[in-house]
């Protein structure tokens, strides 16, 4: 689970970080959930393995990209972190790279895949990823060097990761982000992971966050938070 690597602690770290948190756009598994109204046998279908975006999800990415271009955020973000699940990578590339006909004056931030920020793992095929060797071909824009295993060695067939485990993983991820030199970082991840991470930041590390920030993200929703150095003490 500690797949972020041994990043050394820098002596001169930023006094604050601005994180742009994005939940992936609608995936085909979300469509199944909306049809059934609750998680059931449909989510166990192997057809949902490493679920891609739905047509509506692709449109959501396009709309979010337009907003980011208009806001100038594309020139502000220094690094994009993405879950290595397909729906998250399609969202990350679609928003922060887009099509080849865009204005080439934009300075594209690098996109880095990390296992630690993927969705709650286990049981459902939609949360099991394809091999990295396969995904490198589909996503040449993404740096996969920090993903240690080619095949998915973290997904559990018999049970799902519990929420406490997700929260702990989220705090380890934030600590790793804090020790990086970039001040403005985008994270493209998943609803449960983002919500549990923010709740843990608020409840376990006493970082003040508005109630609206702690609610479940909509598909392709972007929220920004600023974390001040003086407001958080990372627990070992």
Between strands 79-82 and 111-113, the pairing is parallel
What CA–CA distance (Å, rounded) separates 114 from 4? 7
Per residue of the chain (236 residues), what is the pLDDT tens digit? 444 544 443 435 567 889 999 999 999 988 877 766 555 566 777 788 999 999 999 999 999 999 999 998 888 999 999 999 999 999 999 999 875 444 545 578 999 999 999 988 878 898 999 999 999 999 999 999 999 999 988 888 878 889 999 999 999 999 999 889 999 999 999 999 999 999 998 888 888 888 888 888 999 999 999 888 666 665 54
What CA–CA distance (Å, rounded) separates 121 from 154? 7
Report, as residue numbers or ranges, the catalytic residues.
24, 119
Q: What pLDDT does 128 receive? A: 92
The fold adopted by the segment(s) 16-231 is Rossmann fold (3.40.50)
Q: Chain-centre distance of CA 170, in angstroms?
A: 11
223 close to 217: Cβ distance less than 8 angstroms: yes
158 close to 123: Cβ distance less than 8 angstroms: yes
HSE-CB for 223 with a 13 A CA cutoff: 19
Six-digit token string for 121:
């793992």
Domain positions in the chain are: 16-231
Q: What pLDDT does 123 receive? A: 82
Q: What pLDDT does 147 receive? A: 95
What CA–CA distance (Å, rounded) separates 120 from 140? 26
Q: What pLDDT does 5 receive? A: 46
Q: What pLDDT does 11 receive? A: 38
């Amino acid at each position: 689970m500690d797949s972020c690597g041994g990043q050394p602690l820098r002596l001169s770290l930023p006094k604050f970080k601005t994180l742009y948190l994005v939940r992936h756009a609608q995936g085909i598994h979300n469509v199944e959930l909306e049809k059934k109204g609750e998680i059931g046998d449909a989510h166990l279908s192997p057809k949902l393995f490493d679920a891609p975006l739905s047509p509506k999800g692709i449109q959501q990415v396009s709309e979010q990209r337009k907003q980011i271009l208009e806001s100038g955020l594309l020139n502000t973000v220094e690094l994009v972190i993405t879950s290595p699940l397909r729906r998250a990578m399609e969202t990350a590339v679609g928003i922060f790279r887009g099509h080849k006909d865009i204005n080439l004056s934009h300075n594209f931030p690098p996109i880095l895949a990390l296992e630690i920020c993927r969705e709650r793992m286990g049981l459902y095929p939609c949360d099991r990823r394809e091999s990295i060797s396969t995904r490198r071909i589909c996503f040449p824009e993404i740096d996969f060097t920090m993903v240690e295993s080619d095949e998915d060695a973290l997904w559990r067939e018999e049970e799902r990761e519990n929420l406490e485990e997700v929260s702990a993983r989220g705090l380890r991820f934030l600590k790793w982000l804090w020790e990086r030199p970039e001040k403005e970082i985008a994270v493209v991840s998943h609803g449960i992971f983002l919500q549990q991470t923010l709740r843990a930041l608020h409840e376990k590390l006493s970082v003040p966050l508005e109630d609206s920030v702690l609610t479940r993200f909509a598909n392709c929703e972007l929220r920004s938070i600023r974390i001040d150095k003086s407001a958080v003490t990372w627990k070992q």
